[in-house]
Structure 1
Amino acid sequence: MAPFVSRRRFVAIAAGSTTTGLAGYTRRSSAADPESDESTVGIDRIPDTVGLETLVDGLGMPLAVEFAAETDRRYIAERDGRVSVHETDGLRNEPFLDLGEAVATGGERGLLGMTLHPDFVENRRLFVHYSAPRRSGTPTDFDHTGVLAAFEATDDGTGVKEGTERVILEIPQPANYHNGGDLAFGPDGYLYVGIGAGGGGGGGGQNVSKDFLGSVLRLDVDDRTADRAYAIPDDNPLVGRDGLDEYYAWGFRNPWRLSFDGDDFFVADVGESDYEEVNLVQKGGNYGWNVMEGTQCYRNDDCSAVAAKTPRGGEQFRDPIVEYPHEESDSGVSGISVIGGYVYDGSTLPALEGAYVFGDLLPAGRIFAATRPDDEGMWPTTTLDIADEAKLERILSFGRDAVGELYVLGTGVDGGGLHRIDSAV
């Protein structure tokens, strides 16, 4: 479930529960071995506590932040459809973009993703992903239409030009939750789009020929074809094969925040009943939903039998690099809804360099850090206490600026805010 409503159910299981393997599938260990030297490489250097420097407070539900190159300017997107400009002197009075009644809210709908084009300084293009009322072509029994759209900013970058919206893609959504919505440009210059499986415990993820639900798409938004407002990269994994050409990877339940670190592509995927996960995604990878929840078999004692009946039966599932339970764990890493983050590459907290920093919707005064092991197993993960936890009662998203410093967006005692992760001293 995405981070707007409480879970509809919570099923706790014993920490020592076993996993059922899949035919033809070699599973990695579901937890790092605390006795192995490899399992603790780098994790002991993670600081115990971090601070939060508040840059903006008094917001509603801030869900994304983007940093404009060559200027001290941040664009902050809120769920209600507004994007604000934050500069050295604070927030500008007029919004950068206000989608108004074009956005459907309620449940987990709203303005769910925003990113700037890599050449934003030159072309002033930005992209948003928002929930809209049902549009033509959306089935009558579906809840709404997800819209991926491009806009053009003014030359000074402080507003969006009227009449410049260009719809790139419309995604019919069956429910008002599990909609995904995040956007990120990869190092290849293509736009990556996270789409949720569409609600319900058994929702999409495995049928790559029917729709885009439960996927990450990859689009060339610098080109277009006669029948599309975008082009398909020639090396997308299903080009010339059975399936929709837009797919990059599939088998996700609700990808909530995408990020790149060089060629590494991180996708956090919100779990259903018991486990949360972070994946290091590869082209053409199947990440298991709705057969697997993390490394665990989802609601069935024989995952092999279920997997054989999926539209792409027998396809190998890929394990996450991080998995944590809903119940309390010895490591302290637990929660109810994962919020994906970024690899830290800044200078303020050198002990965090190279760690993947992320969190949970209900942080309970913590964020998480995972470090890369020497092998291909799970990434050891630990907690970092937040010095002033009242600032952050809910985590909604993360951001990273051009020099590698990390930011967290969420709600606390002063409403919604944007905070820079800093030293606790």
Structure 2
Amino acid sequence: NTGDNFQIRINATTSTSDLHSIQFDVNYDPAVLTLSSVSEGAFLSSDGRVTIFNYSSFGSGLADDIYNARNTTYADSSPGINGTGTIAILNFTAISVGSSNISLFNVTWVNSSILNASAAVIIPTINNGSVNVASVPCVLTNATWSATSVTEGQQVSLTVTGTNCDGQTLNFSVWEDDGIIDELLGNGDDNVTQNPSNVAFSGNTATATWNSAEWQNDCGGLCNPPEYYFISTLVTNSSTTINSKSVGNPMLTVDKLYNANEIFIQPDTQTVNLGQNFIVNVNGRAPVTASDVYGLEYNINYDSGILSVNSVTEGTMLNSYGAVTTFNYTLSSGKIHAYDVRNVTNGTANPGVYTDEGTFLIINFSAVSAGASGLNISDLIWVNSTITNMSVGIPGVTITNGSVGVNAGANNPPVISN
């Protein structure tokens, strides 16, 4: 890999016989490799003989005049060496991706007859080599959101760190985590409609932007607010990937952005058993991007043949922050008429309420007959703090009705008479 240091050994093979001295040059590609040192191998001195080792120069793709010889006198009878071993060691550094040949040339191989002034220059068989240099793989080490909670439509950043990744490009996919409930139902996580654009690493960091955080209704509303994680993958290698959830980082929670006043039944649908008591809330929203709420008057219509009202209680939305309210209701067949308004407290008028969600009314029902009943809001008057006439409400309030189904006989245990 690029950046690695490694050795190339110039070896004599098993067929070597009576080697006294050798001189050679080595050629390599300086665009791929750099040569840092040349040193003697142990072969010619392996029997304890003193040797001479030197070289002329090295660099720019050439190691010149590498020379290794056994230091002998005319008194020696057999100064050559037989066998196999290393003649020279070249230490290289891989500096760029590519391939480089390691080639020997100008080889002079001399046997021991040099002592008799009739040196025999042997023509050896030369086996050259090559080196392939690969890039160091990019390793993704962490993936994090820039925040743990945002509101729908807000911008949020996604950051991935890695090693050996400078200049590499990542793609990003954001997923809404469906949690345990949907997993038990066999539903997979949901991809968002618009993912962040690809981003290249700058050094060890790549930061993308999710321009508009998306809100999804998580497992039918039971798991809201939705939570999101992201997966980032190297464009050039799809097996190099990282998951912000899998590495143990917090997921991103996205809260719903509400732009209109709303009043709605919560839960909007439910199924109960015959004889069962259950709670239905009348909830509302008064976001700061719309209008506040100062008072309400409305009807809740239901099927009195299916449901019976046990109690009606004021919620906490209008009497929040210690405000004194006027609250009353009347019951008639199949209808609850409710009235709730913030009053003057200690001589000071209470301001209207802004909130993403609160409860206006709590109704305790009994299921008295099998069947289905709508829970419908009608004749709504929504008054904000700028209106003093409770008979004139603001326009444009969104109304969402609900329903209840009653199962027959589910709560009728067997009776033992004797």
Q: Give me the TM-score of the superposition, normalised by structure 2.
A: 0.17
More strand by share: 2
Q: Give me the TM-score of the superposition, normalised by structure 1.
A: 0.17
Q: Which has the higher contact order (CA 8 A, sep 6+)?
A: 1
